[in-house]
Amino acid sequence: MPMRILIWLVRAVIFVALFGLAIKNSAPVDLRLYFDVAWQVPLSMVVLGCFAAGALLGATAAFATWIRQRREIGQLRRQLSVQPKSGARSTAPD
């Protein structure tokens, strides 16, 4: 139980620190895109957007790996079920 409280305390401190950082960096910045398009957005939103894009990319890569591994496990299980199950070992005479 005390470890759970400590974890929530650390999470709260990190949240307050990041929230304070976002408040301090709320000045608008120009985000220049292609074809002379520019957006004025707060710096904290640019950082949050980049973080979200990176997290989404990482989750997509992890999901693709997970799907590939699940497919391979299924193939191995099918191969194992096709093989004859023999409970006794055959011993060859010396």
Residues contacting 25, CB < 8 A, separation 6+: 42, 43, 44, 47
10 Rama class: left (phi>0) / alpha (psi -120 to 50) / beta: alpha
24 Rama class: left (phi>0) / alpha (psi -120 to 50) / beta: alpha
Sign of the Cα pseudo-torsion (47, 53, 57, 58, in order)? positive
Q: What was the pLDDT predicted at 62? A: 93
For 22-78, write each residue's pLDDT tens digit.
888 788 888 888 898 888 988 888 888 888 999 999 999 999 999 999 999 999 999
Q: What was the pLDDT predicted at 46? A: 85
Query: What single DSSP character describes residue 34?
Result: S
Whether the pTM exceeds 0.85: the reply is no
pLDDT bin (cut points 50, 70, 90) of residue 92 is low
Whether residue 89 is predicted with pLDDT greater than 70 in this model: the reply is no
